[in-house]
Amino acid sequence: MTYHGRFAPSPTGRLHFGSLVAALGSWLRARAEDGTWIVRIEDVDRTREIPGSADDILVTLAAFGLVSDEPVVRQSDRGTFYDDALQRLVDTGLAFACRCTRGDLAAHGGLHRGDCVTAGDATRTPAWRMRMPTGTITFDDAVFGRLAQDPSLAAGDVVLRRADGCWAYQLAVVVDDAAQGITEVVRGADLLDSTPRQIALQRALGLPTPAWMHLPLALDAQGRKLSKHDLARPVDAGDPLPALRDALVFLGQPVPCRTTVTELLHDAVAAFRVDAIPARLPADAALRKD
Ligand code: GLU
């Protein structure tokens, strides 16, 4: 089977070192497997989008030699596919309308589990949730090994569409990874917690489950994840080599002695070793080693 990988940034700011690590890691893995690599812009949450950042991210990636093998897909164009998926889950009785507010759920640990805690205000547009099946979900991660979580306890009934009409990341990512034939998801370890939820959704929708590979997170001096949102310092598209070399070091890879982006990437693919990537589980990860 041909390897199909992806990098799926949200356009919430400029590309910083943490997102460069995810982009480079997923690209190296795809190239080392002789596969294809695509970029998908995850712009379902219009409230967090920074105008212009999707294009800025694509231009910056290109300066780092990372160019999508297929036309870039934007999730904002794909609402009908998410609608179909939601409808299928409604038809099979797995999805339901929910008018619980965050305040309602606060007394329940913030999680929605099973029945709604309130009938809610019938005039209010509902969110749509999927009833999370109980039981442990186990998966093999190429960096972290076998991990396990019961998503009904860790996450509860997952939101598919928010009350404000925005599609939820969890539904959109699962629909698109399947539609784009992604064979392995490579991304930051902050999303490890989401993986069991996504496997549950894939099963409910009858979609294939890809392989998984999560990358260690770049943290700031206070030990917090770098995020575009917090205005972490963007990488310099005008001088890509230093950040590319730093990203290779961060991923435990050797740094080829090369002075152009193309040559550096070429040699980095040849030297790429998954077992050299440091397996640092985020302190707040709600999964256990199995
Ligand atoms: N869009 C997500 C982010 O920028 C990544 C989603 C994924 O790779 O599954 O954090």
pLDDT tens per residue, range 100-115: 998 899 988 899 998 8
Ligand 1 pocket test, pick from 17, 19, 41, 42 with the greatest ligand atom count within 8 Å of Cβ, gives: 42
| Sheet strands (E) in 45-163 | 73-74, 95-98, 127-130, 137-141, 145-149, 158-161
- Domains in the chain: how many in total? 1
pLDDT at 227 (0 to 100): 66
For residue 254, the CA-to-ligand 1 centroid distance in Å is 26
**Band of the pLDDT at 119, cuts 50, 70, 90?**
confident
Task: Please state, in angstroms and rounded to a whole number, the distance separating the CA atoms of residues 30 and 36.
Answer: 6
Give the domain CATH number at 51.
Answer: 3.40.50.620
Ligand 1 within 6 A of 9 CB?
yes
Assess contact for 153 and 25: CB atoms under 8 A. Answer: no
pTM across the whole model = 0.96
What the block records as the tokens of 289 is 């080693």
- Per-residue model confidence as pLDDT tens digits over 32-83: 999 999 999 999 999 999 999 999 999 999 999 999 999 999 999 999 999 9
Does residue 117 surpass a pLDDT of 70? yes
pLDDT at 66 (0 to 100): 98
Task: Please state, in angstroms and rounded to a whole number, the distance separating the CA atoms of residues 38 and 71.
Answer: 8
For residue 9, the CA-to-ligand 1 centroid distance in Å is 5
DSSP 50: P
Assess contact for 104 and 117: CB atoms under 8 A. Answer: yes
Domain range for residue 181?
A: 4-289
Atom 6 in ligand 1: residue holding the nearest Cα: 8
Atom 7 in ligand 1: residue holding the nearest Cα: 8
